[in-house]
Amino acid sequence: MVRAFISVGSNIEPENNLRNAIVRLSSTVRIRAISTVYRTEPVGPPGQPSYYNCVLEIETDLAPRDLKFRLLRRIENELGRTRGLDKFAARTIDLDLILYDDLVMITEDLTLPDPDIPRRPFLAVPLQELAPGLVLPGSGMHISAVVSAQLRMDMMPLKNYTEHIRKELLHERKL
C-alpha cells in the first residue's frame, strides 16, 4: 500500500459534491485522514462562487496513472464534471492526485508532486495539516516553509462542516 494525497474541490453545490466524492473514493481506497475544509475564492476570472477545498490522505495499491485517470476521473464524471476550454470554469468536483508517496514523475499529463503546491495555499495548508513534517519529493522543500511563504487571506476554515464530514465519513463508516 502506498500513501498518497488527493485534493478535493467544488464550487457547484460543494456541500453535497465534496461529501459524495469522498464517499465514492472510500469504496476503492482507504481514507486515512481528511484535512480541514476551507472556503476559498476561485482562481481565475471573478464572478464564480467560492470553492470548498480539502486534502485527503489515502492508502492505495493503485498505480499513480490508474488512480488519476481511472478512479479520480471516473468519480468526477459520475458527479457531472465537464471539461472544456476554460480551465477555470466552475465545477461540480475537482479531484487531483497531488502527492504519491515519494514519487517524482513528470509526464505530459501527470506531474508529481503537483507543481501547484507551492503556489496554491488551498493545497499546501491542508497538506501541512495532514503531514506537518513533509518534505516535497524532488525539491527538498519543507511543507512548513511553503506554507509560511504563502498568503492565505482568502481561506476560511469551515470547522462545523469539516467536523460533520469527519464524523460521518471517518468515524461512523470506519474508513
Q: Which residues are catalytic?
A: 81, 91, 94, 96
Question: Taking every pair of C-alpha atoms in the chain, what is the biggest distance, in angstroms?
Answer: 42
CA distance 33 to 111: 23
Q: Which residues contact 107 (CB under 8 A, 6 or more apart)?
A: none
CA distance 53 to 125: 10
Q: Do the strands 94-100 and 105-106 form a parallel or antiparallel pair, or are they unpaired?
A: unpaired
Which among 129, 140, 123 has a CA at the least distance from the CA of 33?
Answer: 129
Give the DSSP H or E segment for 108: none
Query: Residue 153 gets which letter from DSSP?
Result: T
